[in-house]
Amino acid sequence: MSNLDEFLAGERLDDVVFYLSDAYLDDDSRLREVGTETDCGVRLILDGETGRSAFQAGTGMGAMEFAKTAMDAEGEIERSLDGGACPFADDPDADPDDDHDIRFVFAFAEARNEEVGGLYAEGDVVHAYAHCTCGESYSHKWVVGDRDE
Protein backbone atom coordinates (compact mmCIF):
# COMPACT_ATOMS: atom_id res chain seq x y z
CA MET A 1 0.00 0.00 0.00
CA SER A 2 1.41 3.41 -0.96
CA ASN A 3 1.70 6.37 1.41
CA LEU A 4 -1.18 8.02 -0.48
CA ASP A 5 -3.36 4.92 -0.11
CA GLU A 6 -2.58 4.83 3.61
CA PHE A 7 -3.43 8.53 3.95
CA LEU A 8 -6.72 8.09 2.07
CA ALA A 9 -7.56 5.07 4.24
CA GLY A 10 -7.25 7.18 7.37
CA GLU A 11 -4.05 5.44 8.48
CA ARG A 12 -1.90 8.59 8.45
CA LEU A 13 -3.95 11.09 10.47
CA ASP A 14 -0.83 12.99 11.57
CA ASP A 15 0.35 13.55 7.99
CA VAL A 16 -0.61 16.06 5.32
CA VAL A 17 -0.54 15.87 1.53
CA PHE A 18 0.87 18.72 -0.49
CA TYR A 19 0.66 18.71 -4.29
CA LEU A 20 2.24 21.26 -6.64
CA SER A 21 1.56 21.27 -10.38
CA ASP A 22 4.43 21.34 -12.87
CA ALA A 23 3.19 24.74 -14.07
CA TYR A 24 3.55 26.14 -10.54
CA LEU A 25 6.72 24.36 -9.45
CA ASP A 26 10.17 25.28 -10.75
CA ASP A 27 11.95 22.49 -12.65
CA ASP A 28 14.89 22.60 -10.23
CA SER A 29 12.82 22.81 -7.03
CA ARG A 30 14.10 20.72 -4.13
CA LEU A 31 10.52 19.55 -3.58
CA ARG A 32 10.91 17.39 -6.69
CA GLU A 33 13.64 15.45 -4.89
CA VAL A 34 11.55 14.71 -1.78
CA GLY A 35 8.15 14.22 -3.40
CA THR A 36 6.61 11.72 -5.78
CA GLU A 37 6.34 12.79 -9.41
CA THR A 38 2.83 12.50 -10.86
CA ASP A 39 1.67 13.06 -14.44
CA CYS A 40 1.32 16.79 -13.85
CA GLY A 41 3.36 17.67 -10.76
CA VAL A 42 4.80 16.54 -7.45
CA ARG A 43 2.96 15.12 -4.44
CA LEU A 44 4.46 15.09 -0.96
CA ILE A 45 3.12 13.21 2.04
CA LEU A 46 4.76 14.56 5.16
CA ASP A 47 4.21 14.75 8.88
CA GLY A 48 1.92 17.65 9.73
CA GLU A 49 4.48 20.18 10.91
CA THR A 50 6.95 19.47 8.10
CA GLY A 51 4.12 19.49 5.54
CA ARG A 52 2.78 22.85 6.69
CA SER A 53 6.31 24.29 6.52
CA ALA A 54 6.84 22.85 3.03
CA PHE A 55 3.49 24.28 1.95
CA GLN A 56 4.47 27.74 3.19
CA ALA A 57 7.88 27.50 1.52
CA GLY A 58 6.34 26.31 -1.75
CA THR A 59 3.40 28.73 -1.93
CA GLY A 60 4.31 31.67 0.28
CA MET A 61 1.17 31.29 2.40
CA GLY A 62 0.28 29.51 5.61
CA ALA A 63 -1.50 26.19 5.13
CA MET A 64 -4.30 26.82 7.60
CA GLU A 65 -4.86 30.38 6.38
CA PHE A 66 -5.12 29.00 2.85
CA ALA A 67 -7.57 26.33 4.03
CA LYS A 68 -9.77 28.96 5.69
CA THR A 69 -10.04 30.96 2.46
CA ALA A 70 -10.67 27.84 0.35
CA MET A 71 -13.52 26.67 2.62
CA ASP A 72 -15.76 29.39 1.20
CA ALA A 73 -16.23 27.52 -2.09
CA GLU A 74 -16.96 23.84 -2.53
CA GLY A 75 -15.55 22.11 -5.58
CA GLU A 76 -14.44 18.66 -6.65
CA ILE A 77 -10.92 17.49 -5.83
CA GLU A 78 -9.87 14.13 -7.22
CA ARG A 79 -9.11 11.33 -4.79
CA SER A 80 -5.52 11.34 -6.08
CA LEU A 81 -5.28 14.92 -4.72
CA ASP A 82 -3.65 16.18 -7.91
CA GLY A 83 -6.62 17.30 -9.98
CA GLY A 84 -10.16 18.54 -9.73
CA ALA A 85 -12.99 20.64 -11.09
CA CYS A 86 -12.97 24.33 -10.20
CA PRO A 87 -16.45 25.50 -9.19
CA PHE A 88 -15.71 28.89 -10.76
CA ALA A 89 -15.32 27.43 -14.27
CA ASP A 90 -19.08 27.70 -14.82
CA ASP A 91 -19.44 31.17 -13.28
CA PRO A 92 -21.10 33.42 -15.90
CA ASP A 93 -19.11 36.39 -14.54
CA ALA A 94 -15.76 34.59 -14.87
CA ASP A 95 -13.27 35.48 -17.58
CA PRO A 96 -13.91 32.96 -20.40
CA ASP A 97 -10.18 32.99 -21.20
CA ASP A 98 -9.22 31.67 -17.74
CA ASP A 99 -7.90 28.15 -17.44
CA HIS A 100 -9.12 26.08 -14.51
CA ASP A 101 -6.25 23.76 -13.65
CA ILE A 102 -5.06 23.05 -10.15
CA ARG A 103 -1.90 24.90 -9.11
CA PHE A 104 -1.61 23.23 -5.72
CA VAL A 105 -3.50 21.16 -3.15
CA PHE A 106 -3.19 20.86 0.61
CA ALA A 107 -4.98 18.02 2.41
CA PHE A 108 -5.22 16.48 5.84
CA ALA A 109 -7.42 13.86 7.50
CA GLU A 110 -9.32 14.28 10.74
CA ALA A 111 -10.26 11.38 13.00
CA ARG A 112 -13.86 10.34 13.50
CA ASN A 113 -15.56 12.47 16.14
CA GLU A 114 -19.11 11.50 17.03
CA GLU A 115 -19.47 14.49 19.36
CA VAL A 116 -19.12 16.91 16.42
CA GLY A 117 -21.71 15.01 14.40
CA GLY A 118 -22.37 15.21 10.67
CA LEU A 119 -19.67 13.73 8.47
CA TYR A 120 -17.36 13.47 11.46
CA ALA A 121 -19.67 10.98 13.16
CA GLU A 122 -19.54 8.75 10.08
CA GLY A 123 -15.77 8.20 10.09
CA ASP A 124 -12.41 9.82 9.47
CA VAL A 125 -12.75 12.83 7.15
CA VAL A 126 -10.32 13.95 4.44
CA HIS A 127 -10.16 17.73 3.99
CA ALA A 128 -8.69 18.86 0.67
CA TYR A 129 -8.09 22.45 -0.46
CA ALA A 130 -7.10 23.47 -3.99
CA HIS A 131 -5.90 26.65 -5.64
CA CYS A 132 -6.80 27.07 -9.31
CA THR A 133 -4.95 28.81 -12.14
CA CYS A 134 -7.92 31.22 -12.34
CA GLY A 135 -6.84 32.56 -8.95
CA GLU A 136 -9.72 31.08 -6.93
CA SER A 137 -9.48 28.47 -4.18
CA TYR A 138 -11.96 25.79 -3.19
CA SER A 139 -12.41 22.81 -0.90
CA HIS A 140 -13.76 19.29 -0.85
CA LYS A 141 -14.16 16.90 2.06
CA TRP A 142 -15.31 13.33 2.29
CA VAL A 143 -15.54 10.44 4.72
CA VAL A 144 -12.72 7.91 4.33
CA GLY A 145 -14.00 4.98 2.28
CA ASP A 146 -16.84 6.91 0.62
CA ARG A 147 -14.79 7.74 -2.47
CA ASP A 148 -13.31 4.48 -3.67
CA GLU A 149 -12.62 5.54 -7.24
pLDDT, tens digit (0-9, with 9 covering 90-100), for 71-119: 999 999 999 999 999 999 888 887 777 889 999 999 999 999 999 999 9
What pLDDT, on the 0 to 100 scale, is given for residue 97?
76
Q: How far is CA 143 from CA 45, 104, 148, in A?
A: 19, 22, 11
pLDDT, tens digit (0-9, with 9 covering 90-100), for 39-68: 899 999 999 999 999 899 888 999 999 999
The CB density around residue 44, as the number of other CB atoms within 10 Å, is 21
19: which strand partners?
43, 105
What pLDDT, on the 0 to 100 scale, is given for residue 105?
96
User: What is the domain partition of the chain in residue ranges?
Assistant: 3-143
- pTM of the entire structure? 0.91
